Amino acid sequence: DSGVTQTPKHLITATGQRVTLRCSPRSGDLSVYWYQQSLDQGLQFLIQYYNGEERAKGNILERFSAQQFPDLHSELNLSSLELGDSALYFCASSVSEGAFYGYTFGSGTRLTVV
Amino acid sequence: DAKTTQPPSMDCAEGRAANLPCNHSTISGNEYVYWYRQIHSQGPQYIIHGLKNNETNEMASLIITEDRKSSTLILPHATLRDTAVYYCIVTGGGNKLTFGTGTQLKVEL
């Protein structure tokens, strides 16, 4: 157990639907990062939050949004889902705003869009 | 962040040392070398990082050349459980880690 909790572990939904993925960071970590891993794209950085504020944005689609709440957990919202959104979604956390102290990753949410 | 180059795949016999190379010829003075690994479909796992001195922990050793243009991750006694994709990442500790395609290490009996 890495200390980063992601729920649900698996999610199957239909095209056009909306889902929410949840991440609880390791105790004491203030930063949360979201990554998408599909078969042909590798690990792609989506977005980072630090202590409730957005800090960096990567290749995140406009249909996707995220937020970090006062208790530091984060949610990634995916809407108008397409088949190509099927992927593993990982959350990572770190104690600082940057990568210096390393990231701790969760076990991921496997999203299947049918 | 500096670009890294890793071989796409490597094989290693169980019990032998696995030496995974990484080239990062454009690394700048304030950038660190990080290694992560990802065992099939699990979340990536931090292994080790260093600036210019060699580093060792319970998982691995990191050897960085004097000019810092390349490094080698050493798993001293590889086991079947070390089969994974290994990512070498160079970053100045900025806001995010950028993962490349890594090296698929296969440890065999």
In this prediction, residues A81-92 reach a mean pLDDT of 97
pLDDT in tens, B12-32: 999 999 999 999 999 988 899
| Contact between B50 and B33 (Cβ < 8 Å) | yes
Segment A47-75 mean pLDDT: 95
Burial class (CB in 10 A: 0-12, 13-18, 19+), A73: middle
pLDDT of residue B95: 63
Distance from CA of B14 to the nearest CA of A (A): 26
Chains A & B: contacts with CB separation below 8 Å: 58
Which regions of chain B are under pLDDT 50? Answer: none
Residue type at A105? Answer: F
Which of A:43-72 have CB within 8 Å of B?
A: 43, 45, 48, 55-56, 58
Largest CA distance in chain A: 39
CA nearest to A103, candidates B75, B22, B96, B74: B96
Average pLDDT, chain A: 94
Q: Are A92 and A35 in contact (CB under 8 A)?
A: yes
Bridge partners of residue B70, in order along the sequence: B23
Q: Residue A61 and residue B19: Cα distance in Å, rounded? A: 38
| Percent of chain A topping pLDDT 70 | 100
B34 in contact with A, Cβ within 8 Å: yes
